[in-house]
Amino acid sequence: MRIAVTGSTGLIGSALLPRLRSDGHDVVRLVRSTPKGPDEVRWDPAAGTIDTAALAGIDGAVHLAGEGIGTKRWSTEQKAKILDSRVKGTRLLAETMAGLDPRPSVLVSGSGIGFYGLRGDEVLTEESSEGTGFLAEVCRQWEAATAPAEQAGIRTVHLRTGIVLSGKGGALAKVLPLFKLGLGGKLGRGDQWWSWISLDDEVGLISHLLTAEVAGPVNACTARPATNAEVTKAIGRVLGRPTVLPVPKFALGLVMGGGLTEEVILAGQRALPSVAEASGFAFAHPDLDSALRSAVGR
């Protein structure tokens, strides 16, 4: 298959490209800069422009681009960037794919388990209802922006990704230096659920969904969600370091800001990968210790 990929320089995208190529796919990267080769296509989501002609003949697309959720404090301006970057880019890609002839067969479009909002201990599957809060609204609009592709008959998957465990980026990479010094600990009370997935399984699932007969939401997380306190202990086990210094809520708020702390750091979703498992996907790292050892190279 010839697959167009957005967000190819991010944590997931940079790992996805070699996986797709090893699976035999031809990859085309959508980039905002001037294309440097035949495998790059220019687009500008903010301006609503894309090189449609260069996408002729693609069989599908994986859409991962968007402003980072946890990279900056959630000011009004930053929240607008987070929302607009997802909705505008998704709509542009979906409309473009719908207008191609021949029409691509599949769109795997990013989303997040933040769709479910703050639900405590409730077990969440793809059939669970939408939650409330900023991230839930972002995910709702993000997924709705794929409508042009769906209406054109393109099989569309909403990849609701949980916490991706990798030593190269994301939440784990940010805290690893502290844990390696023996200064890591649970965040807040530590009872918030973290639905996680290894980076290897994230890219493996995306590749699987390009050909599996699956449409609609797919929870990209393992069947073994864990509390933050359990994740903290597991990191300590894998690194051989103590994890006795909890980080209080007020300290997180001072550093991250209230919104980011409440909805991301101290929140959580207890999500299960019902659709992924039913489609036959097998996780390479189904347990936390295995995923963490892979992430930190042990």
Residue 23's domain is classified under what CATH number?
A: 3.40.50.720
> Containing domain of residue 245, as a range?
2-296
**Which range is least confidently modeled, 171-175, 189-193, 230-234?**
171-175
Under 8 Å between Cβ of 9 and 65: no
Q: How far apart are CA 80 and CA 140, in angstroms?
A: 15
Between 258 and 43, whose confidence is greater?
43
Is the pLDDT assigned to residue 37 strictly greater than 90?
no
Residue 78, CB half-sphere, CA atoms under 13 Å: how many?
13
**Closest C-alpha among 287, 286, 127 to residue 218:** 127
Under 8 Å between Cβ of 39 and 27: yes
* The predicted structure's pLDDT at residue 24: 93
Is the pLDDT assigned to residue 253 strictly greater than 90?
no
DSSP conformational letter for 109:
E
**Which range is least confidently modeled, 110-124, 177-191, 224-238?**
177-191
Domain count, the chain: 1
**Once rounded to an integer, what is the mean pLDDT over residues 214-233?**
96
**Which range is least confidently modeled, 188-192, 246-250, 276-280?**
246-250
Under 8 Å between Cβ of 132 and 117: yes
Per-residue pLDDT tens digits for 136-153: 999 999 999 999 999 999
Under 8 Å between Cβ of 50 and 30: yes
**Closest C-alpha among 64, 69, 145 to residue 108:** 64
Query: In sequence order, what are the residues at sequence separation of 6 or more whose Cβ sits closer than 8 angstroms to the Cβ of residue 26?
Result: 1, 2, 3
Encode burial over 109-141: b for 16+ CB neighbours within 10 A, e otherwise: bbbbbbbbbbbeeeebebebeebebbbbbbbee
> For the chain, how many helices (H) and strands (E)?
11, 14
**Closest C-alpha among 94, 80, 4 to residue 42:** 4
**Once rounded to an integer, what is the mean pLDDT over residues 239-267?**
71
Under 8 Å between Cβ of 107 and 156: yes
Is the pLDDT assigned to residue 122 strictly greater than 60?
yes
Confidence of residue 69 (pLDDT cuts 50, 70, 90): confident
Exposed, middle or buried, 160 (CB in 10 Å: 0-12/13-18/19+)? buried
Outline where the chain has alpha helix (H).
11-22, 76-99, 134-144, 147-151, 170-180, 199-211, 228-239, 249-256, 258-260, 274-278, 288-296
Measured CA to CA in angstroms, residue 258 lies from 73, 102, 138, 254 at distances of: 9, 48, 18, 8
Is the pLDDT assigned to residue 255 strictly greater than 60?
no
Residue 271, token pair as written in the block: 């999500």
Q: How far apart are CA 229 and CA 238, in angstroms?
A: 14
**Once rounded to an integer, what is the mean pLDDT over residues 58-85?**
91
* The predicted structure's pLDDT at residue 225: 96
**String of DSSP letters for 173-199:** HHHHHHHHTT----BTTS-SEE-EEEH
* The predicted structure's pLDDT at residue 189: 85
**Which range is least confidently modeled, 15-29, 33-47, 202-216, 253-267?**
253-267
**Closest C-alpha among 97, 78, 89 to residue 10:** 89
pLDDT mean across residues, the chain: 92
* The predicted structure's pLDDT at residue 105: 97
Is the pLDDT assigned to residue 67 strictly greater than 70?
yes
**Once rounded to an integer, what is the mean pLDDT over residues 167-193?**
86
* The predicted structure's pLDDT at residue 151: 98
